[in-house]
């Protein structure tokens, strides 16, 4: 598909598992280990989709979404892959229509399906 | 993973312990580590401090220059060569290493620079290696936790046996969940099906009195209306309603345990020092709850069906008893006696229940025997005797094809055999006829002798026992007789007198 996915998580096993799964499905994967790095890569590399943890050192996943939204003209479809999904209030998410939540532990297969679905509904790659 | 740093820089890699000392021993080069802003990041080895006349300010400046330029800096300072190498992680400088070598000539200067370049490579390689090691450790830790969770769910499948009481299952689930999640306490709340009272199973140290659990669970379940059906609260102390229950209650996960229609239990974990509860905990507890609830529900259905079968069998048995007012309650009394003997023989509860059923059904073949023969007073004619002696075989035929009653059919067919081989229908001896049949045989004879029959009045208990003793080894199995004599027969007889039909004697 030639789509580019940015994966941001401070836990190595998450980025490793997610990157493998998406790469095997033919997607290009960028990895960031914190919010700041994810922000810089998002602005510089314009991924088609963002998968981010909520709790990361320095910048939370939602702060990251807010900063990207402020910087880029178009929202990046985002999957919030988090252990805090059951505590997130709908009100917290209301500001981020492009964000869907997936709770840990997750099925890598299901994540890939969600990624492909999100990419398909977002249309062809911008590049 | 630590969440404390507010800097946007990736955390500095751990400098392997004694790396500086090792480099010094092998190469004579003194290495030190600084943060990119020039502040020392790790204690330098003791003997490095005395390395030379290079000022701390000069080193700090070199560190900042290397960090800003993101490039190695090597500088000649009076009598020495000093180097600063930025060490990067994910493209950003996170650490700067410095090293210095004393030189006394231009030739030595060149050699020193080459030596420093080699040391730089070695130091970077060691730090990258340590970084990978830390990453591997964190992946292993995550994998270990995943394995624990998977094996909990696997083992849950193994302990779900309908013969196991619900409480015992929940004790297992609570203990396993506490171990796996690291919670201080776990709890299962099981309201009774009829809404009267509830059972609570606890593992670990509860942050509140166990007697308050029902109110807490009720309160939490009321607030639980979201679709996920999971409650995670890591800030209980900020909730005044929860604070009223216990100030020690800090964190909790609670999932409903949908048991019976209308009744909802709960499975919960309380407090985990050092780490908040998250969705991995909640999902694990929810899966355990779903499996447990399905099991408890199935178990109730299973027992309902079992009860239904027992009731049907009892109805069937009393339809035979009803043909003859003298034998009223006979089947039930024989059933209870069979069960008592089986327990006394140590056969286990499952066999004891089989014996009970065999006792209920032993005379089912009499359903086809004319009432005129059954109710006849005085001696039977030989042809009448032939007819009545067919009832064990007829009974076996009636039960034929009911797979669940296979073990019982043999007892029905052979309950009139004698251990000396002189009984009917097959003339089997002790080791040929089923144990269950020998048990029913004795219980049947005992009840026949102790209750009124058309042809005979009740014998006194002592006479009955003497008669049984007399027939031990000829009519009755000696071991069964022995077990029978060990029973509290007075209690048994009282029970039969108080409840003549013995129909209300439960299977348990």
Helix B478-485 × helix B435-450 angle, to 10°? 50
Say what the ipTM of the complex is: 0.84
pLDDT at A89: 81
- Give the E-state strand segments of B63-131 in sequence order: 73-77, 80-89, 92-102
What was the pLDDT predicted at B506? 41
Choose the closest CB to A58 out of B6, B228, B278: B6
pLDDT of residue B171: 94
pLDDT in tens, A9-47: 999 899 999 999 999 999 999 999 999 999 999 999 999
Instruction: Compute the distance between CA of residue A14 and CA of residue A20 in angstroms, rounded to an integer.
Output: 10
Question: Tokens for A38?
Answer: 């994810």
Residue B92 confidence (pLDDT): 83
Instruction: Give the closest-approach CA distance of B286 to chain A in angstroms.
Output: 12
Q: Please state, rounded to an integer, the average pLDDT across all residues of chain A.
A: 91
% of chain B surpassing 70 pLDDT: 90
Taking a C-beta distance cutoff of 8 angstroms, is the pair B432, B410 a contact? no
Q: Is the pLDDT of residue A82 over 80?
A: yes
Interchain CB distance below 8 Å, B1 and A104: no
Put simply, the answer to whether B143 touches A13 (Cβ < 8 Å) is yes
Spatial contact of B443 and B359, defined as CB atoms under 8 Å apart: yes
Q: Which residues contact B179 (CB under 8 A, 6 or more apart)?
A: B148
**Could you tell me if A16 lies within 8 Å of chain B, comparing CB atoms?**
yes
Mean pLDDT by 10 residues, chain B (508 residues): 43 78 87 86 54 73 91 88 90 88 86 91 92 90 90 86 82 95 95 82 94 91 72 92 90 89 85 93 92 87 89 88 80 94 94 94 91 84 92 94 89 95 89 93 93 70 92 95 94 80 42
Sheet strands (E) in B161-197: 185-191
Tokens 């006849």 belong to B376
Dihedral sign for Cα B431, B435, B439, B441, please: negative
B272 vs A contacts (CB less than 8 Å):
none
Using a CB-CB distance cutoff of 8 angstroms, which residues of chain B are in contact with residue A64?
A: none
pLDDT on residue A63:
94
Residue B142 to residue A13, Cβ atoms within 8 A? yes
pLDDT beyond 60 at A125: no
The whole-number pLDDT of residue B503 equals 43
């Amino acid at each position: 598909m030639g789509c580019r996915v940015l994966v941001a998580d401070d836990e190595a096993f998450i980025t490793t598992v997610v990157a493998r799964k998406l790469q095997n499905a033919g997607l290009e994967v960028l990895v960031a280990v914190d919010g700041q790095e994810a922000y810089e890569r998002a602005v510089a590399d314009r991924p088609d989709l963002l998968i981010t943890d909520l709790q990361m050192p320095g910048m939370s996943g939602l702060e990251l979404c807010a900063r990207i939204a402020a910087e880029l003209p178009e929202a990046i479809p985002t999957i919030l892959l988090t252990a805090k999904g059951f505590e997130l209030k709908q009100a917290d998410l209301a500001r981020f229509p492009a964000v869907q939540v997936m709770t840990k532990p997750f099925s890598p297969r299901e994540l890939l399906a969600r990624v492909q679905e999100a990419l398909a509904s977002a249309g062809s790659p911008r590049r | 993973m630590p969440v404390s740093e507010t800097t946007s820089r990736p955390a500095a890699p751990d400098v392997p312990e004694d790396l500086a000392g090792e480099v010094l021993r092998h190469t004579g080069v003194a290495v030190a580590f600084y943060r990119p802003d020039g502040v020392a990041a790790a204690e330098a080895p003791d003997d490095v401090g005395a390395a030379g006349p290079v000022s701390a300010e000069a080193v700090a400046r070199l560190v900042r220059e290397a960090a800003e330029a993101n490039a190695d800096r090597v500088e000649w300072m009076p009598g020495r060569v000093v180097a600063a190498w930025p060490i990067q992680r994910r493209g950003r400088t996170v650490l700067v290493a410095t090293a210095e070598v004393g030189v006394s000539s231009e030739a030595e200067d060149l050699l020193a620079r080459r030596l420093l370049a080699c040391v730089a490579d070695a130091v970077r390689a060691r730090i990258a290696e340590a970084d990978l090691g830390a990453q591997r450790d964190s992946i292993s830790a995550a994998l270990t936790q995943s394995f624990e969770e998977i094996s909990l769910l696997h083992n849950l499948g193994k302990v779900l046996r309908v013969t196991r009481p619900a409480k015992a299952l929940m004790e297992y689930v609570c203990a396993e969940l506490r171990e796996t999640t690291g919670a201080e306490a776990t709890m299962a709340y099981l309201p009774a099906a009829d809404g009267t009272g509830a059972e609570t199973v606890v593992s670990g140290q509860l942050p509140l009195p166990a007697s308050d659990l029902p109110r807490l669970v009720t309160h939490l379940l009321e607030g639980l209306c979201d679709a996920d059906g999971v409650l995670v609260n890591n800030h209980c102390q900020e909730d005044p309603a929860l604070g009223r229950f216990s100030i020690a209650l800090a964190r909790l996960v609670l999932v409903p345990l949908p048991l019976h229609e209308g009744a909802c239990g709960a499975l919960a974990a309380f407090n985990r020092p050092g780490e908040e509860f998250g969705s991995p905990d909640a999902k694990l507890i929810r899966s355990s709850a779903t499996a447990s609830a399905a099991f408890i529900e199935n178990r109730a259905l299973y027992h309902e069906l079992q009860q239904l079968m027992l009731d049907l069998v009892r109805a069937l048995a009393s339809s035979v008893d009803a043909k003859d007012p003298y034998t009223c309650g006979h089947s039930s009394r024989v059933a209870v006696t069979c069960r008592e003997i089986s327990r006394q023989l140590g056969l286990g509860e499952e066999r004891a229940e089989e014996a009970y059923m065999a006792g209920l059904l032993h005379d089912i073949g009499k359903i086809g025997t004319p009432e005129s023969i059954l109710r006849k007073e005085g001696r039977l004619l030989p042809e009448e005797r032939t007819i009545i002696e067919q009832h064990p075989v007829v009974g076996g035929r009636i039960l034929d094809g009911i797979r669940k009653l296979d073990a019982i059919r043999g007892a029905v067919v052979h309950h009139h055999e004698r251990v000396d081989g002189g009984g009917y229908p097959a003339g089997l001896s002790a080791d040929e006829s089923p144990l269950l049949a020998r048990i029913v045989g004795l219980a049947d004879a005992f009840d026949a002798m102790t209750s009124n029959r058309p042809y005979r009045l009740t014998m006194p208990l002592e006479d009955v026992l003497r008669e049984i003793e007399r027939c031990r080894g000829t009519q009755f199995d000696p071991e069964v007789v022995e077990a029978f004599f060990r029973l509290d027969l007075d209690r048994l007889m009282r029970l039969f007198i108080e409840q003549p039909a013995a129909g209300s004697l439960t299977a348990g």
